[in-house]
Homo-oligomer: A and B are copies of this chain.
């Protein structure tokens, strides 16, 4: 941590910074510049110390953090890539993983048809929402318990693990009986009560990036899961909010190499929510694989025109099959299999 003093800050103000640092068990080195004094605070845990502790001291101009605030999610903590295993599926290995299915579970017929398409096309995990967080209270909120039961039945019939969103810590224990992977939605990435709860349950979690959260905040949120002992964490990039309005969100494709550089956790990409329109999904899916993602989370509906939620961003079965075929040579081009 680097503490920059104001120009002309007197010696006793510098001393106060030094004293506070020593109180916190840090080593200190003074840099006497031409114009101002810069105090370097050294120690392996400076990433967890609030910069405010020093910023509030008289004579301090700015405080800059050098160590990252996340620890367990960092590649410095764990050099090799983590692999999360769900039944016989491995996320983060050489094989790419496609999770697909409808935004919301609507009926047994719909989910069964979707599962068939998903499995036939080569995807290995079925997605479907039972609890839907909706912007308006007057919108369809999901089938809830009935949706979970359909997911459970379908996963048994098709031998496909299922992923579904959990929106309330109170539901998590109960849901663990019905589904294989918990999805934490973008709006809940910083719902620390929920993260702490899921950290204790130790079921695989897909942690979607908050649509206005930095990569650093995302990895620090992952530390909530990891610090409770749950190591089965999969990250999911799903687009960030920007000024551009031709897409629902802006897929932050750069997050893929950045995450691979700074973290050991596997990373999948959701092109559907980023794009907001089915016609843009294939290009984003291909880009994600080319950039190094470990898999995809895609919305596919047996009949998008009849979808209760997000129909416009869902692929049709034929478009989904075409995309799966188109992805194979790209996977091969980057040394992966699909």
Contacts and interface: CB of A to CB of B under 8 A. Distances in A.
Nearest to A221: B135
A139 B48 CA distance: 7
B138 A227 contact: yes
Contacts of A282: 257
Contact of A311 (B53, B240, B326): B53
Interface string A187-212: 11011110010000000000000111
Given A62-B66, A192-B167, A214 B246 contact: yes
A83 interface: no
Contact of A191 (B71, B188, B311): B188
Give the one of A51, A56, A326 with max B CB within 10 A.
A56
Contacts of A2: 2, 38, 40, 64, 66
Contacts of A253: 251, 253, 283-284, 287
Contacts of A275: 254, 257
A127 interface: no
A250 B242 contact: yes
Interface string A37-49: 0101011100010
Contacts of A292: 283
In the A-B complex, the 7 residue pairs with the closest CB atoms: A212-B212, A290-B290, A329-B333, A257-B283, A33-B42, A287-B287, A187-B190
Nearest to A217: B135
Give the one of A187, A241, A244, A329 with max B CB within 10 A.
A244
A184 to B, nearest CB: 12
Nearest to A42: B33
Interface in A37-90: 38, 40, 42-44, 48, 50-53, 55-57, 62, 64, 66-67, 69-71, 76
Nearest to A56: B311
Contact of A168 (B44, B193, B258, B329): B193
A44 B48 contact: no
A247 interface: yes
A296 interface: no
A216 interface: yes
A312 B56 contact: yes
Interface in A266-317: 274-275, 277, 279-280, 282-284, 286-292, 304-305, 307, 309-313
A177 interface: no
8 contacts: A2-B38, A4-B66, A52-B311, A52-B312, A56-B311, A137-B223, A261-B280, A287-B288
Given A27-B33, A56-B307, 16 more contacts: A29-B31, A33-B43, A38-B40, A51-B312, A52-B313, A53-B311, A137-B228, A167-B191, A168-B169, A188-B191, A211-B212, A212-B241, A257-B279, A286-B334, A287-B288, A333-B333
A156 B260 CA distance: 42
Contact of A136 (B70, B214, B245, B251): B70
